[in-house]
Amino acid sequence: MALVIAGHIVLDCAEPEKLAVFYTELLEAVQTEATANRVEISAPGGIQMAFRRDVNAAPPSWPRPENSLQAHLDFLVEDLDEAERRIIGLGGRPLDTKDFSGPYEERGYADPAGHSFTLRLLTPTAPKQD
């Protein structure tokens, strides 16, 4: 039997209820637990997140160097423009970042509490041609 059987990505924030709404809507998730200081959600694809109250929480300033990126989330999407419109409509904001080199198109955003996350374009897979 595995020692660890489940886990959550936990974001500290001043208002966990409000941040949970943002991610619940963005990920089409459901709230699975809520206490006075923590809200948990579960989304399709196995994403488990929690939002913990920290009245002194300060968001990272990434991509500025004075407070480096502490952690961030990556989400795969099929349409970057559609996802961006939804994020902005939910209260998120785009981050000014340098172009990423590599096989994926990516865009950086911040949630309403300032936590950064990245949308990566899901690369369609086609059957190999002989």
Range of the domain at 25: 9-121
Please report whether residue 28 resides in a domain.
yes
Please report whether residue 126 resides in a domain.
no
Please report whether residue 4 resides in a domain.
no
Please report whether residue 127 resides in a domain.
no
Please report whether residue 2 resides in a domain.
no
pTM (two decimals): 0.72
The bridge status of strand 38-43 relative to strand 30-34 is antiparallel
Q: State the pLDDT at residue 93.
A: 93
pLDDT surpasses 80 at 126: no
- pLDDT tens digits, 19-34: 999 999 999 999 999 9
The whole-number average pLDDT for the span 65-88 is: 79
CA distance 11 to 71: 9
CA distance 58 to 14: 9
Q: State the pLDDT at residue 51.
A: 93
**Tally of domains within the chain:** 1
